Amino acid sequence: MKIGIDIDDTLTDIKQELEQEARKYAKQLGKKEQNISGITNKNDGNIWQRKYGFTYEELKYFLKEIQESVTKKARPREKAKEVIEKLKQKGHKICIITARDSEFHDDPYQLSKDWLDENEIEYDKLIVNAREKAHICQQEKIDVFIDDQLNNCLAVSNIGIKTIQISDEKEQVENIITLENWNEIYKYIVEME
């Protein structure tokens, strides 16, 4: 199978650290946190604009300087590396699909490649600038897609691709498999074979 995998909060677990950094940055700017429950995230940083009222330039600074700093030093989620190695050994192709893009990063490809290489994550292809992950998955003929963001999972699932959301949320969404960790993901994929 060809397996598509996101990086941030899928291969890594940086959600809490990014939230703390965003809150700290917003406080420095004198911005107040807004309640944004129920708003679907897009892959363009709008979550931070909506939550803290960042201007475009403030958002650009946050994503380029602060988020990049967090992502560069992030460690892989527990067992992510080992599970991907086992999937590769079984003959599966791994396609890393990230929304890290040229609008907010000088070189999103190199940023992503450096992190993957440094953490010895095996992959066959790396795709950046992937804000429309469903389109990319369709184009790349992905069989199984793994991401943390529900909006990405819904979009990919809606075009008929088997989708796994890595999350500790207990709420199940139709046509999306929600699993908490990489061991569960491995077990699920092996059962699909």
Which secondary-structure segment (H or E) carries 154?
Answer: helix 150-157
pLDDT digits (tens, 9 = 90+) for 122-152: 999 999 999 999 999 999 999 999 999 999 9
d(C-alpha 162, C-alpha 141), whole Å: 12
Q: What is the DSSP string of 6-72?
A: --TTTTB--HHHHHHHHHHHHHHHTPPPPP-TTPPP-TTSHHHHHHH---HHHHHHIIIIIIHHHHH
pLDDT digits (tens, 9 = 90+) for 49-103: 888 999 999 999 999 999 999 999 999 999 999 999 999 999 999 999 999 999 8
User: CA separation (Å) from 102 to 98, 112, 141?
Assistant: 12, 12, 24
Instruction: Look at the pTM and tell me if it is higher than 0.85.
Output: yes
Query: Mind listing the domains of the chain with CATH numbers?
Result: 2-12+76-192 (3.40.50.1000), 15-73 (no CATH)
d(C-alpha 111, C-alpha 71), whole Å: 9
84's tokens: 């991907």
